[in-house]
Structure 1
Amino acid sequence: MADSIEDSKNVPLTDEELETDNKGQLIKKAGQLRDRRNDLNQMASERASKRDEFNAKTREKVDEAQEHREKRDELNEQVQEHKEKRNELNAKANELFDKVDQLKDDLELNEGKSVEQLKEEIEDLEFKQQTEVLSTEDERELIEEIEEKREKLSERKEKLDQSGELEELKEKAQEVRAQASEHHQKVTELADEAQEHHNQMIEAYREADEIRDEADEWHEQFVDAQEAADRHHEDFVRVQKRLRELDEEEESEKREAREEKEAEAREEAEEIYQAFQDGETLDTEDLMKLQKTGLL
């Protein structure tokens, strides 16, 4: 920040000084006022340059903030577009999964054990039959259980064979859900990027405010220097005006003295001329006086 103006270097001028100081004193005062005015004008110019420099930096930061604002808004629009697409796809996926569940109910696939479970149970029972010593009654019951499970497995497979539409529908639902997830991922990425631009916008505006404060301080310093320079210029003009008045007074006094001297010379010449007419003899000096006044 610029140093404050040193009042001790300012040149004072009172009305009394203006009226009572002699010409030499006023000429000296005018020089002091002129020099101080020029120094203050230079100071004001330098401070105005610093102010303009900070104002330019402020505009740069505001422009930067505006760029981040525009980018943020653009990204938020994209976020909204992806949200709408995601929601649309999720709604479509939900409809497809509802159809999958309905078809499963129709095929009774939601009831009982899966093919994999039945296969494992049959394998376990067959392994037990092959490796354990069983009574005739226990073995008969085991065989009946194995056959029962094989029948259920056969029924299950038959239903699954009839459920090609179900798998296709499930695959389609999963595909649509995956597409929705991709749009959700874009929503997250773009929202994060938008937030980053928002943060940068806020920071740029904050920096702009700080720089603007600097510019305002330099402007206040400029005004102080310029006002002081203007005061010194006004006083300089007052002194110059007073000097012209003194010159005019001096010239007037000289003119009056000259006219008085000429009048005296004229009067003396007329007396000499009258004496000449009365027959007195004139010397060389008297003749020159008559010539100067035009009487001879």
Structure 2
Amino acid sequence: MAQRFEHMVDESKNIELTEDDLANKSKGQLIKKAGQLRDRRNELNQMASERASKRDDLNAKTREKVDEAQEHREKRDELNEQVQEHKESRNELNAEANELFDKVDELKSDLELDEGKDLEELESEIEDLEFKQQTEVLSTDEERELIEKIEGKREEYAERKDKLDGSEELEGLRAEAEEVRSEASQHHQKVTELADKAQEHHNQMIEAYREADDIRDEADDMHDSFVEAQEAADRHHEDFVRVQKRLREMDKEEEEERKSARDKKKEEAKEEAEEIYQKFKEGETLETEDLMKLQKTGLL
């Protein structure tokens, strides 16, 4: 609001003209009033011109911000399209990977690889039993029983390892499934990256539109202040024209008064000359001044 007041016309500097001024002020006073009106009009016209220029600059900045917002909108929409494409690819690849992992599980079941312990667990158990054999004092029966248990674990380990080593199809399926899952993860990463970029452009679009609205409001205020200054300038111009018209009327009135005075003076001179001429005809002696008056009026 403070900025709005800054652009308002200072009415205390305006020049007022009343009908009483036109009717009763002297010519000199009206000439002075015309000069004041002209100067204030010119000042207001300059003010209006500056405000119009600022308004146009602000409108141009508004258009720039709107264009900037549109660019961010287009980039956001483009990125969102790419996000959708990568989502579709990710979902298709995940579905494919799930099918492959299901086949891996089916094949493992067919090979009975899901039953029993895995190789790492068996290897750990064998190491524990061997450590016990080496570090503990055992009876002959306990020693024999422990050795038989170690041998059993080793046979189970060898049998299970043979099954795994012999299943090239299983390893191929697992590698293919993991590769497809990895490719799906790459698409998911692209979804995240592109979505973040799209959000950035969305935020920048919102900010650009907000700035455009703020600048547009400022431009509207500047336009209002331009109109205010221009209307005040127009009022001063109209009053200036009224004073000029009144001054021309006064000039005309003065000229008519001067003409009337000249005509009256001329008529009086003629009447005087006729009186002198009458004296001349009656034989009176005329003075030189009287003769000159007769000559001047053409009666002699």
TM-score, normalised by the number of residues in structure 2: 0.81
Q: Which moved more, 1:120-129 or 1:245-254?
A: 120-129
- 1:111 Cα deviation (Å)? 0.9
> 1:189 Cα shift?
1.6
How far does residue 80 in structure 1 lie from its aligned partner after superposition? Answer: 1.6
Trace 1:139-178 onto structure 2 (pairs within 5 A): 141-142=145-146, 144-178=148-182
Q: TM-score, normalised by structure 1?
A: 0.82
Cα distance in structure 1, aligned partners of 2:10 and 2:133:
113
Question: 1:66 maps to what in 2?
Answer: 70
Q: Distance in 2 between matches of 1:43 and 1:127?
A: 101
Distance 2:110 2:247 in 1: 118
Partner of 1:45: 49
Q: What are the ranges of 5 or more consecutive residues in structure 2 without an aligned counterpart?
A: none
Partner of 2:104: 100
* 1:149 positional shift: 3.6
Choose which of 94, 118, 137 in structure 1 pairs with 2:122.
118
In structure 1, the residue corresponding to 2:247 is in which secondary structure? helix
Residue identity (%): 74
Equivalent of residue 294 in structure 2, options 265, 286, 290: 286
Q: Is the 8 A contact 2:273 2:293 kept in 1?
A: no
Question: CA offsets per residue over residues 66-114 of structure 1, 9 Å max, x none?
Answer: 3322222222222222212111111111111111111111111111122
Q: State the match for 1:237 in structure 2.
A: 241
Residue equivalent to 1:213: 217
CA distance in 2, matches of 1:287, 1:252: 28
| Matching of residue 202 in structure 1 with residue 210 in structure 2 | no
For residues 32 and 120 of structure 1, what CA distance do their matches in structure 2 show? 109
Q: Residue in 2 aligned with 1:226?
A: 230
Residue in 2 that maps onto 1:32: 36
Please give the secondary structure, in 2, of the residue aligned with 1:111. Answer: coil
User: 2:7–2:222: 8 Å Cα contact kept in structure 1?
Assistant: no
What is the DSSP-based 3-state SS (H/G/I as helix, E as strand, rest coil) of the residue aligned with 2:113?
A: coil
**For residue 238 of structure 1, what is the amino acid of its counterpart?**
R
* Deviation larger for 21-30 or 62-71: 62-71
Distance 1:131 1:287, change over 3 A: closer
Aligned residues: CA RMSD? 3.3
Q: Measured at CA, do residues 132 and 32 of structure 1 come closer, stay the same or move farther in structure 2, by a change above 3 Å?
A: closer
| Whole-Å separation in 1 of the counterparts to 2:213 and 2:88 | 38
Distance 2:55 2:277 in 1: 81
Q: 1:134 to 1:23 in 2, by over 3 A?
A: closer
